[in-house]
Structure 1
Amino acid sequence: MRLHLSEHEQDQYDWLRLSLTKGIGNETARKLLSAFGLPSQIFSTEFSQLVEHIPAKLAHALLQAPNDAMKAQIALTQQWLQQPGNHLLSLADTEYPAQLLTIPDPPLLLYAKGRIDLLHVDTIAVVGSRNATAQGVLNAEKFSECLSDAGICISSGLAAGIDAAAHAGALRGKGATIAVIGTGADIVYPARNRQLAHQIVEQACLLSEYPLGTPAIAGNFPRRNRIISGLAKGVLVVEAAAQSGSLITARMAAEQGREVFAIPGSIHSPLAKGCHQLIKQGAKLVESAQDILDELRFSMPSQQVDVPLQQSVPDHADNELLSIIGYDPVHIDHLALRSGIDLADLSAQLLTLELQGLIETLPSGMFQRVSGY
């Protein structure tokens, strides 16, 4: 089989073999690459030289011929690479994103579907809660759309909630988006985002460091966060609970030397706790996309559509009940006391406002106003 490979295919074969060798992780692989050069040179190195850098067990594993399972995985990948728009980027490739080369643990290989040119443009990561509020989703969409209109690429993780909203908003703008996933590049997770993933592949870029066929494994998602932030010059956290995974991304961003931005929220909202925590720790409080562009010194097109944090909907500005609700979560009993409206009428009015998209019911049963743009 190998005798029929082109030089480029042989190079890919060797990179895949190195990455798939049991016990050889990113750190060990980089150590070997630094010592011996390209994977082909590693595999031609004597055992006695390898054990000067790695344990004997790993040296034996490297020098053994690929087993049937590894051969099948490599063949699957090479077949996948024959499909238009599919790419495999190694640390040695010129197309490998330069931003990732600056992080402590760059992936050995990247499986990409779509536009790999996006891996080299100015990028902002937008992350947040999977169980986002309607306001959080709207904020993520509008901030991402505005940044996209400024020519900025948006990176996120294709998760439900804020991530999906960020990708959708970016695709509506003039720029694009990169979805960094925690599964193989041939798997869409969660399934509800399948249509969005297909749109991203057609118009933008989907990226993974995991071999094809890798299922959704909980431990892989926190690791992929370093790529989401590593690709970017800054990370915007839209909504996050006190123990949110988005805080891991923010921490990684800070360790990578990236700027961290956070949108504040109500002091009564659990999904604002994480953002407030970040702001206390030095993250930049932002009220508009322009705040991010200014901080990172990105230029904004002259015909900009700025994104305020909160702006009432003019057509409903004179709605007395909306004024009474305010912008903090409120219980229906408190609303009844404030408004003097009996519960039956109040419930009907709240339902009308919710159907109009002006308020939302939180998981706690409380009501919260949704700001328009």
Structure 2
Amino acid sequence: MIRQLADAERRDWLRLARTDNVGPVTFDHLIGRYGSAAEALAALPGLAQRGGRAGATLAPEAEAERELAAGAAIGARLIASCEPDFPQALAALDPAPPLIWVRGNANLLNKPSVAIVGARVASAAGQRFARGLAAELGQAGLVVVSGMARGIDGAAHEAALPFGTVAVLGGGVDDVYPPEHSGLYERLVAEGCVVSESPPGRKATARDFPRRNRIISGLSRAVVVVEAELRSGSLITARLAAEQGRDVLAVPGSPLDPRARGCNDLLRQGAAICESAEDVLRALDSPGGWREPPAERYRPPPGEADEALRRRVADLLSPTPVSRDELVRATGAPAPAVFAALVELSLAGRAELQPGGMVVAG
């Protein structure tokens, strides 16, 4: 249900989201099952105990208050996924990020957007192409989304600033990295928008970037990769975009340049070619192109799991990802009960619920 949270509810949402072993999948299930973050927080110790852990260490209320105060001090807003100004495209993800911090013009988050991503150590030609593409897409009425990194990201943001651009950060919304982008960051706050899932004051670590990349693709109708090596964050963003049903486009390059290998590989795998803004606009207008997401996403009905089912589900888990549907087939139990068992096991640290319906042993 789309609704505005009161201050106390927002604090409870933040506490639930910051509690150990409560990822987006578990958060979404708990809100759907208990109806409010306060009720979910009250139920967590018992659920973790049923999953095989002595109890759950809830995020302290004082810590949530400090995070809210830190955000307010820099003029940032904390927006929950149930609120009307949460980005509609992001809310349609399964699961959506429970909360995002925003600085700048939040209205940009609900406008049609295209992500432009690529190499940090980008060629001059690649940066020139990114600038031209960003400016043309901006003139066509699209907001450009990227990650404020060196190279392609920075070039795209700079060119799109007059039209609208959104930077998604791995650290907090006040984490300016790289340092030489401090001027760009100030302009993004003043003229564009900066978004993060992380608390204000947090410095980005390696584990933050997959979540950052998922938001970049989730906000966007399409993702364009300008330059990327075969093992790069830009290709992770492209893979996430494909999983989310977004269009993926790649700029072809010379086989002699390692920065072109990732893009050329995407083209071999079926990505659309991007040689100009017209290619992006054509992809968005095609019959198979991006469609408006539903206003509300489906949540499974709440279920109950007994000890025998929890043991069976735990025995089926391994380091190899398996789908929740496969676990339902293997146990022969009702899907809501299997999912309830998975949530309890995840709260006990015995399972990890991943986006896309996959599960691994914790």
Q: TM-score, normalization: structure 2? A: 0.73
Task: Give the number of equivalent residue pairs.
Answer: 282
Q: Matches of residues 152-301 of structure 1 in structure 2 within 5 Å?
A: 152-172=142-162, 175-297=163-285
Q: CA 1:129–1:47 in 2, change beyond 3 Å: closer, same or farther? A: closer
Q: CA 1:170–1:27 in 2, change beyond 3 Å: closer, same or farther? A: same
Partner of 2:16: 18
Quote the offset at 1:267 in angstroms.
2.1
SS across alignment from 1:188: coil
Partner of 1:61: 57
Tell me, in whole angstroms, the C-alpha distance in 1 between the residues paired with 2:70 and 2:203.
19
1:297-347 residue CA offsets vs partner (Å, 9 max, x unmatched): 29xxxxxxxxxxxxxxxxxxxxxxxxxxxxxxxxxxxxxxxxxxxxxxxxx
Tell me, in whole angstroms, the C-alpha distance in 2 between the residues paired with 1:117 and 1:235.
20
Partner of 1:43: 41
- Find out whether 1:29 has 2:20 as its counterpart: no
Tell me, in whole angstroms, the C-alpha distance in 1 between the residues paired with 2:12 and 2:73.
17
Match of 2:112 among 119, 122, 136: 122
Partner of 1:148: 138
1:135-182 residue CA offsets vs partner (Å, 9 max, x unmatched): 00101111001100111000100110000111111114xx20110000
Match of 2:72 among 76, 81, 84: 81
CA RMSD of aligned residues (A): 2.1
Aligned AA for 1:118? L
Deviates more, 1:245-254 or 1:94-103: 94-103
Quote the offset at 1:103 in angstroms.
2.2
Higher radius of gyration, 1 or 2: 1
Q: CA 1:57–1:277 in 2, change beyond 3 Å: closer, same or farther? A: same
SS across alignment from 1:296: helix
1:17-53 residue CA offsets vs partner (Å, 9 max, x unmatched): 11222222222211111110121232344865x459x
Quote the offset at 1:78 in angstroms.
2.7
Unaligned runs of 5+ in 1: 1-6, 299-373
SS across alignment from 1:158: coil
Aligned AA for 2:182? R
SS across alignment from 1:29: helix
- Contact kept? 1:180, 1:228, Cα under 8 Å: yes
SS across alignment from 1:61: coil
- Contact kept? 2:28, 2:95, Cα under 8 Å: no
1:75-128 residue CA offsets vs partner (Å, 9 max, x unmatched): 2423522554x2101121111111112223321110000111111110000000
SS across alignment from 2:166: strand
SS across alignment from 1:81: helix
Tell me, in whole angstroms, the C-alpha distance in 2 between the residues paired with 1:278 and 1:20.
36
Q: CA 1:58–1:232 in 2, change beyond 3 Å: closer, same or farther? A: farther
1 or 2 for the larger relative contact order (CA 8 Å, sep ≥6)? 2
Tell me, in whole angstroms, the C-alpha distance in 2 between the residues paired with 1:82 and 1:38.
27
- Contact kept? 2:168, 2:212, Cα under 8 Å: yes
Aligned AA for 2:171? T
Q: CA 1:196–1:72 in 2, change beyond 3 Å: closer, same or farther? A: same
Tell me, in whole angstroms, the C-alpha distance in 1 between the residues paired with 2:54 and 2:280.
46
Tell me, in whole angstroms, the C-alpha distance in 2 between the residues paired with 1:177 and 1:39.
32
Tell me, in whole angstroms, the C-alpha distance in 2 between the residues paired with 1:16 and 1:142.
40
Q: TM-score, normalization: structure 1? A: 0.71
Tell me, in whole angstroms, the C-alpha distance in 2 between the residues paired with 1:221 and 1:47.
30
Partner of 1:330: none
Quote the offset at 1:243 in angstroms.
1.6
Partner of 2:347: none
Percent of residue pairs identical:
39
- Contact kept? 2:44, 2:56, Cα under 8 Å: no
Quote the offset at 1:205 in angstroms.
0.5
Q: CA 1:162–1:108 in 2, change beyond 3 Å: closer, same or farther? A: same
Partner of 1:101: 91
Q: CA 1:58–1:227 in 2, change beyond 3 Å: closer, same or farther? A: farther
